[in-house]
Structure 1
Amino acid sequence: MSMKLPSLLVAMLIYGLSSAGQAPQYINPLQLDAIAFNNREPGRGHRSVADPQVIFHKGKYYMAATGGGDAKGLFWVSDDMVNWSYHEPVISDGTNFIAPHVIAVGDYIYLTGNHTGLYRSKNIMGPYEKYGDFIRPGGEVLKCFDPALFMDTDGKVYVYYSGGAERGIYGAELDKNDIRKLVNEPAHFFAYNPAHAWENQGSFNEYTHVSWIEGPYMTKHNDTYYLQYSAPGTDMKTYAVGVYRSKYPLGPFTYDETSPVLKNKGGLINGTGHHSIINGPDGSLWCFYTMLVNNWHFFERRIAMDHVTFDKEGHMVIIGPTETPQMAPGFNKDLKKNQTGSIPLSVDKLKTNVSSHTPGRGPEYAIDNYLRTWWQADSTDAKPWLEIDLRAHIGIDPVRFAKQSFNVDGFRIIFAEGGYRGKRGITSSLGYQYKIDVSDDGKQYRNVVDKSANKTDRAIEFDRIAATQAKFVKLTILNKPPNTDVSILEFTVFGQALIPPPKL
């Protein structure tokens, strides 16, 4: 006799519980290790990772993405879609894949990317050998930009790709016995449509004749095919995801008027596009997508993740971008209400002190909920610190604010790493080392996070603690990766109000 375990129990077995007795959570941007540096422009070195595609293979999740520097962008590996670690596979000829896509067909794992053709291996970690280019029925080579491979439930395999600029999205069936070969000439499904205002380029979609249609991805739900795409460009904060629908994998496709289904909502997470969708531990769908930073380079990006569902009319709904702690996949049956209840407590607080700062890079920029500004410590400051009075906000009666206290339960640090001066690629085995202390009076502090021995190289950190009462929070940086400045895009304190503020 077989017995199904409840999805929550399955998730608990997969994840376990945190040391604080809490169910696992995640927050955007995701905390990936070993994001490579790119410093082609002197004094403007930066990290970047983008264009994520995630597959589930032999009990693990594998994320392929466009890496920075000379990194292959392959693979970040996870058991639970929350905790990821970087493992570089063997590529026989050293090819650096841009917008990589991976699929298992038969006995092989196939790997492709922008204009690379197909590579394959019987082991997902390689070695990958060049299998050949995509070949049209007439024998001509087809070079694909942003290729996405899709296997239907009947075993047929398809490739979708971008024509670049305003040309839109194309696709064709592949010979499942030799997926280099196209069964039919590529079909052109749709192009840039200026009537879809969100497809227009610009921070306010003000360029009414310019776009870049890219990043196709196919999802089948029930009997409908959802051909997703991104526009107007990955360097735009208006970058978003749209959908066309059909009853057939090669169309005809009809534009879904609910598009875009993922877009910037004016908060921290912006430039949301070029994504993939994967089944989570309990069978629910999750979207991994690119998000924009764009400080040191217009292609400076990170990765985020949110839940996918469908409404009663069959429209795809991506519940994001989220910016606060969320329950990990598999821990909440009602994923439309996946937030943990923790909210930012540190944004725009008036009384924020630091040990030092460089001109124009004051502490207010570490708590403004904006990724284009940052606090930067003086280069001579050996152990820079930042202190936040959580009570201090704009108001004509500060006495009322002074009575407020909070339960603090988490911290997110997004490091700016401005002006990286080292070599390209994955360069450091040393992560940021720091501690976080809290206080009720700003004088006597107690430690709640100690990462003084941290060696995991992450540009983003998310630390959870058992809820503790606090009015002040202090972050101290103890050590950093070499060739970087101590600079923080955002330091966000999460939690909840402990007592209701006085009535007006």
Structure 2
Amino acid sequence: MKTTRNTLLLWLAYGAILSFMASARAQQRTYCNPINIDYTYMIYNSYKDMSYRSGADPAVVKFRNAYYMFVTRSMGYWRSTDLNHWEFIVPEKWYFQGSNAPAAFNYRDSLLYVAGDPSGQMSILYTDNPKKGDWKATPGILTRLQDPALFIDDNDEAFVYWGSSNKFPIRAKKLEMADRFKPSEETYELFNLKPDEHGWERFGENHRDTILSGYIEGPWMTKHKDTYYLQYGAPGTEFDVYADGVYTSSSPLGPFEYAAHNPFSYKPGGFINGAGHGSTVVGPWETYWHFASMAVNVTVGWERRIGMFPTFFDKDGTMHSNTRFGDYPHHAPSVPHKNGSFTGWMLLSYKKPVSTSSALKGHEASNLVDEDVQTFWVAESNKKGEQVEIDLLRPSLVKAIQVNYNDYNSNLYGKIEGLHHRYLIEGSLDGQRWMPLVDQRNNFKDVPNDYNEVHGKEKIRYIRYTNYHVPTPHLSVSDIRVFGLGSGKSPKAVKKGNIVRGKDRRTAMVSWDPVPKADGYNVLWGIAPDKLYSSWMVYGDNALDLRSLNTDQSYYFTIEAFNENGVSETSEVIKVK
């Protein structure tokens, strides 16, 4: 009887743990890029039987106390009440191919407008109930537009901006709201790329392509106080340096002035790169957030994810997004006083010993801990029981785990109902006794970039992932990222950086003496000592070939080191003319 009672108590305790974990997942107060939504499998551009998920060109707007996110060719859109937990909406009526580079605008909380048909010819859709999705179309047709953006000013003057070209500039037309959004005869040419002056607008990985021209695309208008901030993406969606810049004006049609701090949204380096072709929305607590495209670029260049970054306007009106530790856990938008700030949870799993139950040649276990979204582990089967075990080497306090699935030789196309991932992640101090950390064995959701907080207080050394179900023909994971607080010391500060600006003033070679026991570094720079808004995360090196500077701008630089235990003080700030 005693044994039966003890067993029952153990099962009740275990059930309580699982119930708490499920409740905690629903109430997560942190997030980690790329955001975890049920990205649609593409049909367009899925040539040669290449199956891949993608989410890009996000247009996020608030409408009647909820947020709506429209994403390229997703066969619907997402709804959230807190910018952190998203539900996919299958609308009653929608573009039959899905919207392409969509535009959205909330008109006085009475109507939500959307545009973005793949053909470049589109009606403007509208509804007063986007949760239902009973969209209606305005009779007027906008023609020959790519990557549109809608903006209605406080005085009810309406505008459409557009551009997706390596030749033509961002352009605009006035729209007559009272006349079915009839566009003006006049087209306003606003601005184009100037790669000879703006290093970040150059094409290619790390802006290295000297033959092809970059693309200017994805405009988005934000009015802050009395200034109009017209944002745009460059130089190409598939690159590690895809970014958003901004021009400002006192009028919706200009003239526009290039901002000294550009690009304002830039996220090279780290696990997943890119922060371009996005939108800016006022979130909870009246804080701004910039949603943008992040590059996966494994199957095809159009394979992408969505990232969100806290965004600010400083006392001088300088617009800037915070992408420092941009794919580490941050406090969620709904968390008062902390929203958007870095949690301080460090990466515990980087380059740690890892073993798997099986692996295909060329897709070995080490890919799971290398902080590279473009490399991945593939098991020999997708069956229940395939496992991964990571040795963190030291007991650590685990705070969150992110599992990033990959679509190796997948066979899925379009928006498919019922997709789901099921797995169990356990932790152990000695490798013998295991406790559940993340239990998704009864999960019914599609979670391709699943991020979960861990609320236990016990220190963990070993992490074990066990597969139960994946919707794809192969079990493939790019990285299992374990975050928390290590048991050692943070690295010492970088003593001094060395910055040599090239004859080509768009470039600078940044170098520094390596710091013992550092896993990586953040190079921080900006247009003033108190405006070090740009960052580049560097693993495995103590140098950075920076090619994204503006020729007529002086810059200030500093460097910080980090490891699994924390972040060092920054080095001395250096001015480079």
Normalised to the residue count of structure 1, the TM-score between the two structures is: 0.86
Which of these residues, 288, 292, 299, is aligned with residue 289 of structure 1? 292
Q: Is the 8 A contact 1:216 1:274 kept in 2?
A: yes
1 CA distance for matches of 2:453 and 2:283? 22
Checking the alignment, whether the CA contact within 8 Å between 1:224 and 1:248 is kept in structure 2 is yes
For residue 190 of structure 1, what is the amino acid of its counterpart? F
Measure the CA separation in 2 of the matches of 1:471 and 1:31.
Answer: 26
CA distance in 1, matches of 2:268, 2:95: 42
Offset, 1:94: 2.7
Structure 1 position 409 matched with structure 2 position 399: yes
List aligned pairs for 1:374-393, cutoff 5 A.
374-379=376-381, 382-391=384-393
Partner of 1:176: 177
**CA RMSD of superposed structures (Å):** 2.5
Offset at 1:334? 5.7
1:45 aligns with 2:45: no
Counting only pairs closer than 5 Å after superposition, residues 419-438 of structure 1 correspond to structure 2 as: 419-422=409-412, 424-438=413-427
Q: Could you tell me which amino acid in structure 2 is paired with residue 120 of structure 1?
A: Y
Quick one: structure 1 residues 244 and 454, their matched pair in 2 at CA, closer, same or farther if it must change by over 3 Å?
same
1:275 aligns with 2:278: yes
Equivalent residue of 2:367, what SS? helix
Please tell me whether the aligned partners of residues 406 and 469 of structure 1 are also in contact (alpha carbons under 8 angstroms): yes
Q: Which residue of 1 aligns with 2:337?
A: 333
Q: List structure 1 segments (4+ residues) > 4 angstroms apart after TM superposition.
A: 20-23, 499-504
C-alpha spacing 1:93/1:184, structure 2 compared with 1 (3 Å)? closer
Does the C-alpha gap of structure 1 residues 21 and 190 become closer, same or farther in structure 2, counting only changes over 3 Å?
closer
Preserved CA contact (<8 Å) 2:25 2:452: no
**Match of 2:32?**
27
Hey, what does 1:166 align to over in structure 2?
167
- The match for 1:100 among 99, 102, 120 is 102
**Equivalent-residue separation in structure 2 for 1:445 and 1:279 (angstroms):** 43
Q: What per-residue deviation string (whole Å, max 9, x for no partner) do you get for residues 25-60 of structure 1?
A: 111011112533448334531111111111111221
- Find the residue that maps to 1:366 and give its secondary structure: helix
CA drift of 1:335 comes to 5.5
1:77-476 to 2 correspondence within 5 Å?
Answer: 77-91=79-93, 94-105=96-107, 108-114=111-117, 115=120, 116-124=122-130, 125-134=132-141, 142-162=143-163, 164-178=165-179, 180-183=181-184, 185-194=186-195, 195-208=197-210, 210-320=213-323, 322-333=326-337, 338-349=341-352, 351-379=353-381, 382-391=384-393, 404-422=394-412, 424-466=413-455, 467-476=457-466
Please give the per-residue CA displacement for 1:340-369, whole angstroms capped at 9, x wherever unaligned: 1111100111x2110000001111101100
Q: Deviations over 1:7-40 (max 9, x none)?
A: xxxxxxxxxx963998611110111125334483
Q: Distance in 2 between matches of 1:93 and 1:315?
A: 37
Indicate which of 66, 69, 73 corresponds to 1:60.
66
- For 1:217-244, what per-residue CA distance to the aligned partner results, in whole angstroms no more than 9, with x for missing partners? 1111121111110001112222111111
Given that residues 126 and 135 in structure 2 are in contact (C-alpha distance below 8 angstroms), is that contact kept between their aligned partners in structure 1? yes
**Structure 2: runs of 5 or more not aligned:** 1-21, 493-515, 517-577
Give the match's secondary structure for 2:452.
Answer: strand
Aligned position for 1:3: none
In the TM superposition, what whole-angstrom CA distance separates every residue of 1:312-355 from its partner, at most 9, and x where no partner exists? Answer: 3211010116111111113242657x111111100111x21100
**How has the CA–CA distance of structure 1 residues 374 and 359 changed in structure 2, closer, same or farther, with 3 Å as cutoff?**
same
CA contact (8 A) 2:28 2:453 kept: no
CA offset at residue 497 of structure 1?
Answer: 1.5
CA contact (8 A) 1:44 1:418 kept: no
Q: Go from structure 1 to structure 2 and tell me whether the alpha carbon gap of 1:264 and 1:93 turns closer, same or farther (over 3 Å shift).
A: closer
Contact 1:344 1:495 in 2 (8 A): yes
**Alignment coverage as a number of residue pairs:** 462
8 A contact 1:33–1:84 mirrored in 2:
no
The answer on whether the counterparts of 1:35 and 1:458 sit within 8 Å (CA) in structure 2 is no
**Distance (whole Å) between structure 2 residues aligned to residue 61 and residue 462 of structure 1:** 21
Q: Is the 8 A contact 2:373 2:479 kept in 1?
A: yes
SS of the aligned residue for 1:347 comes to coil
Could you state the TM-score of these two structures normalised by the residue count of structure 2?
0.75
Distance 1:210 1:458 in 2: 36
Structure 1, unaligned runs of 5 or more: 1-16, 135-140, 392-403
Choose between structure 1 and 2 for higher RCO, CA contacts under 8 A separated by at least 6 residues.
1
Instruction: Provide, for residues 286-312 of structure 1, a one-character-per-residue CA deviation record: whole Å limited to 9, x for no partner.
Output: 111111101111100111111110123
Cα offset, 1:468, TM superposition:
3.0
How many percent of aligned residue pairs carry the same amino acid?
31
Alignment match, 1:138:
none
CA displacement at 1:159 relative to structure 2: 1.1
Q: Is the 8 A contact 1:365 1:490 kept in 2?
A: yes
Alpha-carbon distance, 1:112 to partner: 0.8
